Amino acid sequence: MASFFFVKKVSMHTHTIVVLSTDDGLVAEVSKALEADPSYRIIICQSEREAELRLNALEAHLLICGLDAVEDLSENILQKARIFHPLVARLLIGPAERAPDCAVLARNTGVYLYALRPAPIDLLQLFVKRALEVNELARRHRVLSRELKISMDDDLFNEGESLSVSGGVSQFEKLVYASPLMAELCAEAKQAAGTELPVLIQGETGTGKELLARAIHYNSARMNSPIHVQNCGGVSDDMLHSELFGHIRGAFTGAISDRLGLFRAADGGTVFLDEISEVSPSFQVSLLRFLQEGEVKPLGSDTISHSDVRVVAASNRSLAELVEKGEFRRDLYYRLKGFELTIPPLRSRREDIPALTQFFIEKYSGVVGRRVVGVAQDALIKLEAYQYPGNVRELESEIRRMVAVAEQGGYISARHLSSAIADAPVAPAEAGAFTPQGGNLKEMVESLERELVASTLVRTHWNQSKAAAELGLSRVGLANKIKRYGLQNA
Ligand X SMILES: Nc1ncnc2c1ncn2[C@@H]1O[C@H](COP(=O)(O)OP(=O)(O)OP(=O)(O)O)[C@@H](O)[C@H]1O
Report the residue number, 150 or 429, with the smaller CB distance to ligand X.
Answer: 150
Q: Which residues within the stretch 383-412 sit at the binding site for Mg ion (CB under 5 A)?
A: none
Least distance to ligand X, CB of residue 214, Å: 8
Contact criterion met (CB below 8 Å) for 292 and 331:
no
Q: How many CB atoms are closer than 10 A to CB 417?
A: 20
Least distance to ligand X, CB of residue 170, Å: 10
Cβ-proximal residue to ligand X, closest one:
208
Report the residue number, 114 or 388, with the smaller CB distance to ligand X.
Answer: 388
* 190 interface partner picked from ligand X, Mg ion, none, CB below 5 to 8 A per type: none
Return the residue of 277, 316, 358, 413 that touches ligand X, per CB under 6 A: 316
Report the residue number, 66 or 203, with the smaller CB distance to Mg ion.
Answer: 203
Return the residue of 91, 131, 175, 189 that touches ligand X, per CB under 6 A: 175
Least distance to ligand X, CB of residue 476, Å: 36
Least distance to ligand X, CB of residue 17, Å: 42
Report the residue number, 164 or 307, with the smaller CB distance to ligand X.
Answer: 164
Report the residue number, 209 or 217, with the smaller CB distance to ligand X.
Answer: 209
User: Residue 385 interacts with ligand X (CB under 6 A)?
Assistant: no
User: Residue 393 interacts with ligand X (CB under 6 A)?
Assistant: yes
Q: How many CB atoms are closer than 10 A to CB 477?
A: 12
The single-letter code of the amino acid at 376 is A
Would you give the binding string for ligand X spanning residues 204-233, x where CB under 6 A is met?
-xxxxxxx----------------------
Would you give the binding string for Mg ion spanning residues 263-282, x where CB under 5 A is met?
-----------x--------
| Part in contact with ligand X (CB under 6 A); list of ranges 54-62, 202-210, 246-254, 442-450 | 202-210
Contact criterion met (CB below 8 Å) for 321 and 294:
no
| Part in contact with Mg ion (CB under 5 A); list of ranges 4-12, 42-50, 65-73, 210-218 | 210-218
Least distance to ligand X, CB of residue 234, Å: 13
The single-letter code of the amino acid at 28 is A
Would you give the binding string for ligand X spanning residues 395-434, x where CB under 6 A is met?
-x--------------------------------------
User: Residue 210 interacts with Mg ion (CB under 5 A)?
Assistant: yes
User: Residue 176 interacts with ligand X (CB under 6 A)?
Assistant: yes
**How many chain residues bind Mg ion (CB under 5 A)?**
2
Report the residue number, 313 or 392, with the smaller CB distance to ligand X.
Answer: 392
Provide CB contacts within 8 A for 401, sequence distance 6+: 416, 418
Report the residue number, 154 or 423, with the smaller CB distance to ligand X.
Answer: 154
The single-letter code of the amino acid at 298 is P
Report the residue number, 231 or 463, with the smaller CB distance to Mg ion.
Answer: 231
| Part in contact with ligand X (CB under 6 A); list of ranges 102-110, 201-209, 370-378, 467-475 | 201-209
User: Residue 354 interacts with ligand X (CB under 6 A)?
Assistant: no
Measured between alpha carbons, how far is 365 from 409 in angstroms, rounded to an integer?
10
Least distance to Mg ion, CB of residue 213, Å: 8
3-state SS string for the chain: CCCCEECCCCCCCCEEEEEECCCHHHHHHHHHHHCCCCCEEEEEECCHHHHHHHHHHCCCCEEEEEHHHCCCCCCCHHHHHHHHCCCCEEEEEEEHHHHHHHHHHHHHHCCCEEEEECCCHHHHHHHHHHHHHHHHHHHHHHHHHHHHHHHHHHHHHHHHHHHCCCCCCEEECCEEECCHHHHHHHHHHHHHHCCCCCEEEECCCCCCHHHHHHHHHHCCCCCCCCEEEEECCCCCHHHHHHHHHCECCCCCCCCCCCECCHHHHCCCCEEEEECHHHCCHHHHHHHHHHHHHCEECCECCCCCEECCCEEEEEECCCHHHHHHCCCCCHHHHHHHCCEEEECCCHHHCCCHHHHHHHHHHHHHHHHHCCCCCEECHHHHHHHHHCCCCCHHHHHHHHHHHHHHHCCCCCEECHHHCCHHHHCCCCCHHHCCCCCCCCCCHHHHHHHHHHHHHHHHHHHCCCCHHHHHHHHCCCHHHHHHHHHHCCCCCC
Least distance to ligand X, CB of residue 173, Å: 9
Return the residue of 392, 402, 406, 458 that touches ligand X, per CB under 6 A: 392
User: Residue 160 interacts with ligand X (CB under 6 A)?
Assistant: no
**How many chain residues bind ligand X (CB under 6 A)?**
18
User: Residue 311 interacts with ligand X (CB under 6 A)?
Assistant: no
Residues of the shown chain interacting with ligand X in the complex, contacts defined by CB under 6 A: 174-177, 203, 205-211, 274, 316, 356, 392-393, 396
Residues of the shown chain interacting with Mg ion in the complex, contacts defined by CB under 5 A: 210, 274
